C-alpha cells in the first residue's frame, strides 16, 4: 500500500521560488514544494497512532519535528519534540510503516528514521544522500527493502539505499521538457495504481521553467516501470524525438489522487498569484492510465481563486484546497474551499486566520475522515484547525502548536 504525504510553505522559497505542490494527498498533508498522493481514497485505513508535524522557524532558518498522538482520530496527550532540523524546508514521510525525516545542509540532503511511539522518538543516526544542489526531496516511494525512490525538485529521480543513503540508480532520459533547453525535470509526486500488475510508477512533472518564472506547458505524467531491481523509462509516443508522458491540461499540477477507479486518478492544479502566463489553466482532470490520456473535468481557469499550495482529496470524492482570494483592497486573503469535480461545484469552507496569502500544512486522516488545516497565529505560534468531514461542519477543534506547521505525515 502506498501512503501519501503532502507538502506547504508561506512563500516562494524552493530553489528561489515556491512551485506549489503537495500536497495534497488522500491520507496526509504535504508541503509547498511538492505533493504526493496515493490510491487509498476509497480504502479503509487502519487508525493512525499519531501525526508527525514539521514546523519551521519564522525566518525559515531551521525546523522542528513534533509528534502528536491520536486516539479514535483525535489528538491525545501533550505534543512532543522529536528533532531539530538544519533547514526550513524539511519533509516528514511515512514509508513501510517507518517515519523518515528529510532535511538538508549546504553540502547534502540528510535523513533519519524515527519511532515516535518511543519517548524520545528514537532517531537513528543521520544519513547523507544526494547533495542539496539537486533540490529537496518532494516525495518518496519504497520500491523494496533496499530501494527508495526520491523525487528531487531540481531535476533528478534517484533510487537510494535507505540503510546508508548510497545512490543505487539515477533515472535519466531525454525527457520532453519544452523548448527551452535550460528547463529541468520537476518531479513532485508519485502515483502507483492499486492492485496493478503493470509495476508502473507515474511521476508528476510540474512543468515549471528553470528559473521558476512560470510554466512551459510541459506538465505531464512520466512513466517508469520497475522490474524489481531497476527502473526503466516508458515512452508513450516513440514517434517523437523525446520521451513522452501522459500530457496534462492544468498548469502547476500538484497532486494525483486515486478514485473509485484507481486506473483513472484525478490530478489537481491551480494557477497562483505569481503566475502571469495567459491563459493559465486551473482545475481538475481525470487521467486514463490505460489509454495514456487526460481530460479536464472541472475547469477553474476563469475563477477568482488562486492556488495556495495545498490540496487534499477525500474519500467522499471532494477536494479541499487552501486558496488565495481577493481581499477587496488589491491584495489576497487565505481560505479553504471545497471542490466537487464530478458535480462541478466549489464553495468556501473555512476562512483562515492568516490573511496574508500564506500557506501552511494541510492533511487528511482517511481513517478518521478528518481534515487538518494549518494556520499561523498572531503571536507567531501555530495551530491545526481539525474538521470532522463526516458532518462537513466548518466549526473546528483546534490543536495548538509551538510553530506554524509546514508539512505533515500520519504515522501508523
Q: Which domains does the chain have, with CATH numbers?
A: 6-411 (2.130.10.10)
Nearest one of 219, 329, 324 to 280, comparing CA atoms: 219
Tell the burial category of 254 from Cβ atoms under 10 Å away from its Cβ (0-12, 13-18, 19+).
buried
* Nine-digit cell string for 379: 503571536
pTM over 0.75: yes
Tell me, what's the pLDDT at 180?
82
Which ranges of the chain have pLDDT less than 50?
A: 1-42
| Collapsed DSSP state (helix, strand, coil) of residue 334 | strand
Tell me, what's the pLDDT at 45?
67
Q: Give Cβ neighbours of residue 11 (< 8 Å, ≥ 6 apart).
A: 18, 358
CB 285 within 8 A of CB 249: yes
Nearest one of 313, 355, 315, 372 to 338, comparing CA atoms: 313
What DSSP designation does 48 have? P
Tell me, what's the pLDDT at 227?
93
| Collapsed DSSP state (helix, strand, coil) of residue 305 | coil
| Collapsed DSSP state (helix, strand, coil) of residue 133 | helix
Tell me the C-alpha distance between 52 and 66, whole Å: 6
Tell me, what's the pLDDT at 304?
86
What DSSP designation does 289 have? T
Amino acid at each position: 500500500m502506498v501512503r501519501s504525504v503532502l507538502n506547504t510553505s508561506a512563500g516562494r522559497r524552493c530553489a528561489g521560488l515556491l512551485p506549489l505542490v503537495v500536497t495534497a494527498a488522500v491520507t496526509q498533508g504535504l508541503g509547498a514544494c511538492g505533493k504526493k498522493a496515493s490510491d487509498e481514497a476509497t480504502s479503509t485505513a487502519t487508525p493512525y497512532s499519531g501525526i508527525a508535524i514539521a514546523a519551521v522557524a519564522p525566518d525559515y532558518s531551521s525546523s522542528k519535528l513534533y509528534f502528536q498522538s491520536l486516539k479514535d482520530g483525535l489528538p491525545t496527550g501533550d505534543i512532543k519534540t522529536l528533532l531539530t532540523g538544519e533547514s526550513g524546508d524539511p519533509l516528514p514521510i511515512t514509508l513501510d510503516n517507518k517515519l523518515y525525516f528529510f532535511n538538508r545542509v549546504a553540502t547534502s540532503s540528510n535523513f533519519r528514521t524515527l519511532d515516535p511511539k518511543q519517548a524520545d522518538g528514537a532517531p537513528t543516526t543521520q544519513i547523507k544522500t544526494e547533495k542539496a544542489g539537486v533540490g529537496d526531496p518532494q516525495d518518496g516511494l519504497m520500491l523494496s527493502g533496499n530501494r527508495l525512490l526520491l523525487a528531487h525538485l531540481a531535476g533528478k529521480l534517484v533510487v537510494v539505499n535507505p540503510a546508508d543513503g548510497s545512490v543505487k540508480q539515477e533515472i535519466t532520459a531525454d525527457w520532453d521538457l519544452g523548448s527551452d533547453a535550460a528547463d529541468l525535470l520537476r518531479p513532485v509526486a508519485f502515483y502507483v495504481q492499486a492492485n496493478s500488475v503493470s509495476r508502473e510508477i507515474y511521476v508528476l512533472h510540474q512543468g515549471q521553467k528553470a528559473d521558476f518564472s512560470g510554466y512551459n506547458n510541459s506538465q505531464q505524467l512520466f512513466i517508469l516501470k520497475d522490474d524489481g531491481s531497476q527502473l526503466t523509462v516508458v515512452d508513450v509516443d516513440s514517434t517523437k524525438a523525446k520521451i513522452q508522458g501522459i500530457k496534462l491540461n492544468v498548469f502547476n499540477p500538484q497532486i494525483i489522487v486515486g478514485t473509485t477507479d484507481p486506473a483513472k486518478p484525478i490530478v489537481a492544479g491551480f494557477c497562483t498569484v505569481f503566475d502571469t502566463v495567459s491563459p493559465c489553466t486551473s482545475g481538475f482532470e481525470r487521467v486514463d492510465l490505460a489509454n495514456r490520456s487526460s481530460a479536464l473535468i472541472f475547469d477553474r481557469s476563469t475563477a477568482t481563486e488562486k492556488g495556495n499550495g495545498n490540496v487534499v482529496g477525500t474519500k467522499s470524492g471532494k477536494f479541499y484546497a487552501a486558496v488565495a482570494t481577493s481581499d477587496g483592497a488589491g491584495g489576497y486573503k487565505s481560505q479553504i474551499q471545497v471542490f466537487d469535480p464530478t458535480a462541478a461545484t466549489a464553495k468556501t469552507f473555512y476562512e483562515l486566520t492568516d490573511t496574508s496569502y500564506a500557506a501552511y500544512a494541510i492533511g487528511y486522516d482517511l481513517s478518521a475522515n478528518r481534515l487538518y488545516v494549518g494556520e499561523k497565529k498572531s503571536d507567531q505560534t501555530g495551530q491545526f484547525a481539525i474538521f470532522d468531514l463526516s458532518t462537513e461542519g466548518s466549526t473546528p477543534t483546534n490543536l495548538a502548536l509551538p510553530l506554524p506547521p509546514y508539512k505533515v505525515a500520519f504515522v501508523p
